Amino acid sequence: MSFLGDSLGLVALLLYVEGATGAALAVALLLLAGDFTPGLFGAFAGAIGDRFDLKRVMVSCDLVQGALVVVMAVVLPPLPVLLVLVAVRSITAQVFQASSRSAVPALVKDEELEAANSALGAGTNGLEAVGPLIAAALFLITDVRGILLIDAATFFVSAVLLSRLPKMPKAELSGHSLLKDARDGLGYIWRTKAIRVIGLGFFAVVAFSGVDDVAMVFLGKDELHGSDSAAAILYAGVGIGLVTGFALLAKYATRFSMPALMVTGFAVSSIGNLFTGLAWAIWAALAFQVIRGLGIAGVDVGINTHLQRVVPPHLRSRVFGNLYGAIGLAAGISYVFGGLLLQHTNARVTFVAAGVGGLLATTATALGVRRSAGGEREPRVRR
């Protein structure tokens, strides 16, 4: 509910900022406030989940996000104030994400983690991907303010649903300050080679591949000579792949080791970008983006399930907070440097470079995972 609403809200805010300022820089600042800023606070976001009751943290995060979006909808503030509100809401969302991923092992049996993470991925990444299509339909009957109020309502509904979760084990209080807990979380990741390799590999792949969001419209309209609607359809490819991938993984993921699934996902998503840059028609580019979505689904299930199994419960939220915080930073880097590459070359070159870079990062990650396999081996689970 909340991820779908958040996707609707992002479309509404992008259109509001573009209409109010007419400046591409303002739109870029909005994206950076939503994606890049939370990454700076990932260590603290995860530490909160490891200090307090996870259910209360998630419910509180949804209530805070809903209240912030209500303020945005009612006031429709000027850009500087809006950027602050978006940044605060995004940091709150970072706390929610770390806590929600950490909570999954307390809610399902170990042998059900793959299916649970597949379902969670479909409900977050999957619905987030179709949000823009729903937003387009809603704009036929309401305006920016109306869509933002719908976004706020999804957070409140989500809070009610989460309040019905069963009790989860209480956090083991460290007795340290929040700053010390955040530092301990970073220290654990850096000392644990297997976790460090996964984090660095994920960061590198996203740093190369995140630019596809920027380059897609130029590929569709300039290189492939498509219409506005044809270019827009290309953005649906990843969503189709995600939904399909999560459905398949819910049934078949247990046949793979999770590190292998993660590395395969890195490779498949990078290959999808590489061949998108070589596509000869809109339908071909769409097909390759569907393949990219399948790969991203594998990455999501593989990484989350593996970390839920090997990371100690009292550090889990901190690991997820740092991991997804770093991914936000990687996306911001990709927007900036990928945008510069796009400006000086074209969309085909940008996609091919993203794909080749992603495959190089995948190879390095695979080698690192293989060398560190003995240190943090995934528990054997009876199927």
Predicted confidence (pLDDT) per residue in 275-330, tens digit: 999 999 989 999 999 999 999 999 999 999 999 998 888 888 888 888 888 888 88
> Is a pLDDT exceeding 60 seen at residue 383?
no
Average pLDDT over residues 350-359: 93
pLDDT at 382: 41
Structure tokens at 7: 């996707």
Mean pLDDT lowest among 53-57, 58-62, 223-227: 223-227
The mean pLDDT value of the chain amounts to: 85
> Is a pLDDT exceeding 70 seen at residue 173?
no
**310, 194 contact by CB (below 8 A):** yes
DSSP result, 357-377: HHHHHHHHHHHHHHHTTTTSP
CA 58 and chain centroid, separation? 17
Of 326, 307, 377, 322, the closest CA to residue 102 belongs to 307
Q: What are phi and psi of 141, to 5 degrees?
A: -125, -10
> Is a pLDDT exceeding 60 seen at residue 52?
yes
Give me the helices (H) in the chain, please: 2-21, 24-35, 42-51, 54-75, 79-107, 113-121, 127-138, 144-162, 178-191, 193-209, 212-218, 228-234, 236-252, 258-277, 282-310, 316-344, 347-371
**Rounded percentage of the chain residues whose pLDDT exceeds 70:** 93
Structure tokens at 213: 């969001």
**Confidence bin at 184 (pLDDT 50/70/90):** confident
pLDDT at 374: 56
pLDDT at 380: 46
Of 21, 28, 150, the closest CA to residue 79 belongs to 21
pLDDT of 202-240, one tens digit each? 999 999 988 777 777 788 878 888 876 676 677 778 888
**Confidence bin at 378 (pLDDT 50/70/90):** low
**Confidence bin at 366 (pLDDT 50/70/90):** very high
pLDDT at 375: 46
Give the torsion sign (CA, 207, 210, 215, 219): positive
Model-level pTM? Answer: 0.82
> Is a pLDDT exceeding 70 seen at residue 24?
no
**41, 180 contact by CB (below 8 A):** no
349 against 171, higher pLDDT: 349
**Confidence bin at 137 (pLDDT 50/70/90):** confident
Of 290, 11, 2, 16, the closest CA to residue 132 belongs to 11
Mean pLDDT lowest among 45-59, 62-76, 256-270: 45-59
> Is a pLDDT exceeding 90 seen at residue 30?
no
Q: What are phi and psi of 192, to 5 degrees?
A: -95, 105
Structure tokens at 315: 């550090």
* DSSP letter, residue 170: P
Quote the CA–CA distance of 38 and 34 in Å, as a whole number: 7
Fold of the domain built from segment(s) 2-164+178-371: Growth Hormone; Chain: A; (1.20.1250)
Structure tokens at 62: 């949804």
